[in-house]
Amino acid sequence: MSKEKKSLLLVNILGGIAVIGSYIWGLLTHPGSGNMLWGNIPAGLVPVYTVNMFLAATGYLCFTAFVIFFLDPSKTQINIRAGYKGFLVLYLLILVPSALWMPLTYLMLDNPSSLLWFAIRLVLLLVGVGGLGMLSALLSLRPRTRLNLVAFIGCIFFGIQVVLLDAFIWPAFFALP
């Protein structure tokens, strides 16, 4: 495995642990408060969120497997001219803020402030930008293969989650306490 692929795999492993760890931390330190994270999301939207969370997670695994296991770093070109290394930036943009969302949200629930609300909105927007960047990178990817389509479809579900549902709809319904 190339150095670039090892770096990307390491970022995904450490970033994944950080994201999942932040969720575990949040739920363990705030038992029974999981429903508070929904804010005032209409009950009819909760199933949409729930289904799409699974589709987004599956999509993430699909495009990540494609990027790590099926692309040749020495031949890969994407629209940001960074080649394969551009994926590292995109994954960091997705994973680092994702790991911050749960702790920031629980801080906000415990001690509301405009600064925390800004930080929450910022991390959600950064993840959304990372998701759109990934979608753009996969669209511009050269050389193309049949697996591009699977990765691209997975990225669409991921994008729906992080851009539409998380960065725009959730904040609109999450009332400041």
Each residue's pLDDT, cut to its tens digit, for the chain (177 residues) gives 899 999 999 999 999 999 999 999 998 999 988 788 888 889 899 999 999 999 999 999 999 999 999 999 999 988 867 889 999 999 999 999 999 999 999 999 999 999 999 999 999 999 999 999 999 999 888 887 776 888 999 999 999 999 999 999 999 998 754
Integer Cα distance of 14 and 96 in angstroms: 10
Total count of domains within the chain:
1
Of 163, 148, 129, 141, nearest to 56 by C-alpha is 163
Listed in sequence order, the DSSP H helices in the chain are 3-29, 46-65, 85-110, 114-140, 147-159, 170-173
**Residues facing 77 on adjacent strands:** 142
> Looking at the domain assignment, is residue 59 inside a domain?
yes
> Looking at the domain assignment, is residue 134 inside a domain?
yes
CB 131 within 8 A of CB 52: no
CB 37 within 8 A of CB 22: no
> Looking at the domain assignment, is residue 150 inside a domain?
yes
> Looking at the domain assignment, is residue 29 inside a domain?
no
Integer Cα distance of 104 and 17 in angstroms: 17
Which domain covers residue 54, as residue numbers? 3-23+43-173
| Joined tokens for residue 125 | 């927007």
Q: pTM for the full model? A: 0.92
> Looking at the domain assignment, is residue 86 inside a domain?
yes
Integer Cα distance of 168 and 173 in angstroms: 9
> Looking at the domain assignment, is residue 53 inside a domain?
yes
Integer Cα distance of 59 and 65 in angstroms: 10
> Looking at the domain assignment, is residue 36 inside a domain?
no
> Looking at the domain assignment, is residue 9 inside a domain?
yes
